[in-house]
Amino acid sequence: MRFEEFVQYVLHVARHTNRRLDHHWRPQYELCQPCHMNYDFIGHYETIADDAARVLRRIANNTDADVRFPATDPDSRNRNSREVLRKFYANVSVRNVLRLLQLYKKDYETFGYDIPDELRRKVNVTGDRI
């Protein structure tokens, strides 16, 4: 399956069926329900090693445990995320990119993410408006 076909599938399920999206691509806002929980920490994938170390220090406070987050895959550090985004979204229509941004809008807002510049350029969006 090509990425653009996957995007079409996700958008179709999200918009035209009564089925819920699989938890892997369901908006995170729906999974963790930040309006109903009093979270005191939200980690980000981009800073996962530092975020995990912070959480583990809090958990292991006052113990002699040597708890560490597993090292990341060395291959993943060599990827250029901008180039990966450009490549994956090259064949996704502007309309579908806009629909994806709308689907995940609350995730961007709630968890402090900016729309990637590569997607902004593709759909000609400025500021935080989706």
pLDDT digits (tens, 9 = 90+) for 7-42: 999 999 999 887 788 989 999 888 887 778 788 888
> Torsion angle, CA of 13/17/18/20, rounded to 10 degrees?
0
pTM, to two decimals: 0.74
Say which residue, 78 or 63, is predicted with more confidence.
Answer: 63
Strands (E), 54-95: none
Query: How far is the C-alpha of 120 from the C-alpha of 124, rounded, in Å?
Result: 5
d(CA 106, CA 112) in angstroms, rounded, equals 10
Other beta carbons within 10 angstroms of residue 58's beta carbon come to 10
